[in-house]
Amino acid sequence: MTIRVTELRSDVVDALKATMPSKGAPTSLVETMMRKDMDKDTPPSQDLGRFSTTTVDDAMMRIMPDAALKNIACVEEYPSVRKFQERCVSIIADLWNSPTSDPFGTATTGSSEAVMLGGLAMKSKWQRDNRENPEQRPNVIIGENAHLCVKKFADYFDVEARFIPVSERTNYSMSPEAVRRRIDGGTIGVFLTLGTTYTGHYDPIEQVSNMLDEYERDTGIDVPIHIDAASGGFVAPFTSSNESFVWDFRLPRVKSINASGHKYGQALLAVGWIVWREKKWIPEGLLLESSYLRGTQTAYTLSFSKSSAPIVSQYYQFYQKGLAGYRRLINRYLDIAKLLSLELENTGYFVCLSGSTGRSICREGNHNMNPGIPLVVFTLSEGAKKDYPTLDMSALSDAVHEMKFSIPHYTIKGWGNGGSDAQVMRIVVREDLTLELMQKMMDVIVECVKKLTRE
Ligand SMILES: Cc1ncc(COP(=O)(O)O)c(C=O)c1O
């Protein structure tokens, strides 16, 4: 029996909202109450600014409840999930051209935890190699285009963050010369991004790596690279540009790479991955053996107990889709991103500045894609700014939100033309952004612009 919310006593409703009720409530009542709140949320498929997976197929849905009850920390009791995790690491290492048949990596709760582990390994290794100079404060090179979690690593683990400015002039990515000017003997490593959160661009990884090779030849100082491939790690390997855009373990200087399984890896929230070039890149003191509960395991993670469900969903996706399935999917996303960019630019209101779909490509009718993730980041065109001086992206984002579409807006400070701030909106192309939904969303955007610019 389903209880209608209007039939509930108000004190019961309030108790459920505010504090834990002294007595439990009937299952159907709790379910009805919670559904009522949850139904007011934006449908995840229309939450167009997020990266995380919002669709699952029926078979995955059937496996998930079993997996959710298994704690990944219990190695003896649940050997299947441990095996799935190890196989995922090995599949991912292969996708990233690992030089070894016995790669070392781990599942994390997302790219944020993975970035912490990558940074911490670089810091510990630097400390181990610089024992004679314990007073020196370590520093790390971070682009202004890096995700907040990279900056968090520096703050949480007491490493000086040396920021590299980015702008339209540097193609929204780090310039190797700017990195060169900031490195020294205290540099634990360089974080580079494969698919930035804000514009989707790839940092020029091979060029930075070459510059660091040169730096080592000149100074004898060996500076490692960690790649934050939160999004690009499950995009680049499936595209034709992966041959020419060398970013992964093919570059000897790349020592560790992370990615979010719950982004383009198509797994359920929340799982990330980190893989090291070789196990020796993790200083021994960080690899802890635990023999708690049954069985022992050597792990390098920040968390202990975790649901197995996201890891199981990752394994399911790898086997269900295979290389061909991922290739098909990712290339479809990139096509849709390009089409969407053209549609947005054709309105005359917007220009796109995202990595794979930027305006020069759209304008020049060039059908090749720049390497980048299927992200559409757009701003007001010069014409729109002139014709509608009061139109702004935050009002547009709010108006679109009222129509039950979430397209977030944000300001990228100093990244615009001549160092100006750029107000942008972002659409992440995912499985549920079908051509029909895209058309519906375009109609909503245009209708909202018209409403906002009506005198
Ligand atoms: C480049 C980049 N790094 C790290 C993260 C954090 O990833 P997660 O949400 O998996 O922790 C994101 C999230 O959008 C990202 O875009």
Each residue's pLDDT tens digit, 53-73: 999 999 999 999 999 999 998
Mean residue pLDDT across the chain: 91
* Helices (runs of H) and strands (runs of E) counted in the chain: 13, 13
Same domain, 293 and 378: no
Number of domains in the chain: 2
Same domain, 101 and 158: yes
Distance 36 CA to ligand 1 centre (A): 30
388 inside domain: yes
53 inside domain: no
Q: Is the CB of 375 under 6 A from ligand 1?
A: no
Which residue segment(s) compose the domain that 403 sits in?
Answer: 327-453
User: What residues pair up with 127 in beta bridges, in sequence order?
Assistant: none
Distance 271 CA to ligand 1 centre (A): 11
Pocket test for ligand 1, best of 51, 109, 111 (most atoms within 8 A of CB): 111
Percent helix, strand, coil in the chain, to 5, is 45, 15, 40
Of 267, 285, 316, the last residue of a domain is 316
Same domain, 332 and 419: yes
Same domain, 247 and 348: no
Same domain, 159 and 242: yes
Of 278, 296, 316, the last residue of a domain is 316
Nearest atom within ligand 1 for CA of residue 193: 1
Distance 40 CA to ligand 1 centre (A): 26
Helix/strand/coil for 134: coil
pLDDT in tens, 125-145: 999 999 888 889 999 999 999
387 inside domain: yes
Q: CB of 271 within 8 A of CB of 109?
A: yes
Q: Is the CB of 112 under 6 A from ligand 1?
A: yes
349 inside domain: yes
Same domain, 215 and 89: yes
pLDDT at 18 > cutoff 80: no
pLDDT in tens, 152-202: 999 999 999 999 999 999 999 999 999 999 999 999 999 999 999 999 999
Same domain, 291 and 221: yes
Same domain, 311 and 340: no
Range in 105-119, 204-218, 317-331, 370-384 with the lowest mean pLDDT:
370-384
Pocket test for ligand 1, best of 149, 302, 375 (most atoms within 8 A of CB): 149
**pTM of this prediction?**
0.93
Other beta carbons within 10 Å of 108: 26
Distance 150 CA to ligand 1 centre (A): 9
Nearest atom within ligand 1 for CA of residue 194: 1
Q: Is the CB of 272 under 6 A from ligand 1?
A: yes
Of 277, 293, 316, the last residue of a domain is 316
Same domain, 414 and 282: no
3 inside domain: no
Q: Is the CB of 258 under 6 A from ligand 1?
A: no
Reference 375, options 236, 201, 174; nearest CA is 201
Q: Is the CB of 230 under 6 A from ligand 1?
A: yes
Atom 16 in ligand 1: residue holding the nearest Cα = 197
69 inside domain: yes
pLDDT in tens, 231-272: 999 999 999 999 999 999 999 999 999 999 999 999 999 999
What is the C-alpha separation between 110 and 115, in angstroms, rounded?
Answer: 9
Nearest atom within ligand 1 for CA of residue 196: 1
Nearest atom within ligand 1 for CA of residue 51: 14
CATH number of the domain to which 267 belongs: 3.40.640.10
What's the angle, vertex CA 273, arms to CA 145 and CA 337, rounded to 5?
50
Same domain, 260 and 348: no
Atom 14 in ligand 1: residue holding the nearest Cα = 197
What are phi and psi for residue 78, nearest 5 degrees?
Answer: -125, 65
Distance 290 CA to ligand 1 centre (A): 29
51 inside domain: no
210 inside domain: yes
Using omega within 30 degrees of 0 as the cis cutoff, is the peptide bond preceding 270 cis? yes
pLDDT in tens, 64-122: 999 999 999 888 899 999 999 999 999 999 999 999 988 999 999 999 999 999 999 99
Same domain, 288 and 332: no
Q: Is the CB of 203 under 6 A from ligand 1?
A: no
Same domain, 233 and 371: no
User: What residues pair up with 426 in beta bridges, in sequence order?
Assistant: 377
CA end-to-end span of the chain, whole Å?
52
Distance 109 CA to ligand 1 centre (A): 11
Provide the pLDDT confidence category of residue 209 given band limits of 50, 70 and 90.
very high
Helix/strand/coil for 409: strand
CATH number of the domain to which 419 belongs: 3.90.1150.160
Q: What is the DSSP letter of 287?
A: -
pLDDT in tens, 299-308: 899 988 999 9
Q: Is the CB of 273 under 6 A from ligand 1?
A: no
Q: What is the largest CA-CA distance in the chain?
A: 78
**pLDDT in the model for residue 267:** 98
Pocket test for ligand 1, best of 52, 112, 191 (most atoms within 8 A of CB): 112
Distance 251 CA to ligand 1 centre (A): 23
Nearest atom within ligand 1 for CA of residue 112: 11
Reference 228, options 373, 86, 90, 414; nearest CA is 373
Distance 308 CA to ligand 1 centre (A): 20
Residue in this structure with the two tokens 């409530």, named with its chain if needed: 25
**pLDDT in the model for residue 19:** 84
Distance 331 CA to ligand 1 centre (A): 21
Distances (CA, A) of 32 to 7, 36, 38, 163, 265: 11, 6, 10, 49, 33
Q: CB of 380 within 8 A of CB of 393?
A: yes
Q: Is the CB of 110 under 6 A from ligand 1?
A: yes
pLDDT at 368 > cutoff 50: no
